[in-house]
Amino acid sequence: MLASKDNNTQAEEVYEPNTARPADSVYKVDQLNLWYGQDQALKNIELEIPEQQVTAIIGPSGCGKSTFIKTLNRLTEMIPSVKTTGGIYYRNQDIFDKKYKVELLRTKVGMVFQNPNPFPKSIYENIVYGPKIHGIKDKKVLDEIVESSLKGAALWDEVKDDLKKNAFGLSGGQQQRLCIARCLAVEPDVLLMDEPTSALDPISTLKIEELVQDLKKNYSIIIVTHNMQQAGRISDNTAFFLNGEVVEYDRTDKIFSSPDDKRTEDYISGRFG
């Protein structure tokens, strides 16, 4: 299906999004509720996330955006007070099923956080960390993964002569692209990004935005942003969250030009937020 996933045996045909064939879903979220102790943070969320598109999650601070995106790769279950009901289906598999392997999910679904969080190791070691856990030992194969992952994250040209240097020596924007490269190294399907540019300067932000446009050719991307201009620039679909609920979910151009709900209109026109 995809050039970069030549181990994919399902389909030989080339899939181009936005053509006659409708997009498949990577995620179906069904009546999802989540509580931190007594406080309900997600309320009856119903969403389908199409593949090979960029889906933006927008909404004011505290409305449940981070909680939602973390739930998609089961990061919230590490918090003892969390209780969840409803279903999340990744590629039609119930991720809350007891038999479902969370390690597999986290390989397929990579996550990038607000603040870049490289390991305190060399650039090279950051990238090969995941592949080594998956048992890849061959130096030549690892070298190839490092190069292709860094190229995929638009960082190769800037660091190819410095692979042994510590990742902490990179700028914030470079560190964030390194974190994206680290995700790509284990051949994911989906990239979750929680406000990936909010700690970055405008030029680094633009680089990440361009990168996201490029990455959607091969990956499905879900990005939380409180920057509405960013959602408008880079996403195909937008979900507007408010108080733990999805108020409106539609094509991004529709959300920003003629939303159905008054609350969406008020938010995107800056009346609150």
Ligand X SMILES: Nc1ncnc2c1ncn2[C@@H]1O[C@H](COP(=O)(O)OP(=O)(O)O)[C@@H](O)[C@H]1O
Query: Residue 108 and residue 221: Cα distance in Å, rounded?
Result: 12
- Spell out, one character per residue from 58 to 97, where the chain touches Mg ion: x when CB under 5 A holds, - when not: --------x-------------------------------
Instruction: Return d(Cα 25, Cα 140) in angstroms, integer.
Output: 35
> Cα separation of 13 and 18, whole Å?
15
In the chain, DSSP assigns E strands to 25-36, 39-50, 54-58, 82-90, 93-94, 109-112, 190-194, 220-224, 237-242, 245-251
* Residue from the set 64, 131, 188, 259 that interacts with ligand X by CB under 6 A: 64
Among the listed residues 29, 47, 49, 63, the single contact to ligand X using CB under 6 A: 63
Q: Which stretch binds ligand X (CB under 6 A): 58-66, 96-104, 109-117, 146-154?
A: 58-66
Instruction: Tell me if 65 contacts ligand X by CB under 6 A.
Output: yes
Instruction: Determine the Cα–Cα distance for residues 71 and 74; give it in Å rounded to an integer.
Output: 5
Residue 105 binding result from ligand X, Mg ion, none, given CB thresholds of 5 to 8 Å by partner type: none
For the CB of residue 79, give the shortest distance to ligand X in the complex, in Å.
5
Q: How far is the CB of 227 from ligand X (least distance, A)?
A: 13
Write down how long the chain is: 273
Whichever of 37 and 169 has its CB closer to ligand X, that residue is 37
Measured CA to CA, the distance from residue 178 to residue 48 in angstroms comes to 29
Minimal distance in Å, beta carbon 34 to Mg ion? Answer: 14
Nearest residue (CB) to Mg ion, 66 versus 107: 66
x-or-dash string of contact with ligand X, 27-46, rule CB under 6 A: ---------x----x-----
Listed in sequence order, the residues at least 6 apart from 144 whose beta carbon sits closer than 8 Å to its beta carbon are none
Could you say whether residue 225 binds ligand X (CB under 6 A)?
no
Residue 98 CB: number of other CB atoms within 10 A? 5
User: Which residue spans within 12-163 are E strands per DSSP?
Assistant: 25-36, 39-50, 54-58, 82-90, 93-94, 109-112
| Residue showing the smallest CB distance to Mg ion in the complex | 66
> Which tokens hold the place of 201?
């300067």
Q: Is 156 in the site for ligand X (CB under 6 A)?
A: no
Residues forming the site for ligand X (CB under 6 A): 36, 41, 59, 61-67, 79
Residues forming the site for Mg ion (CB under 5 A): 66
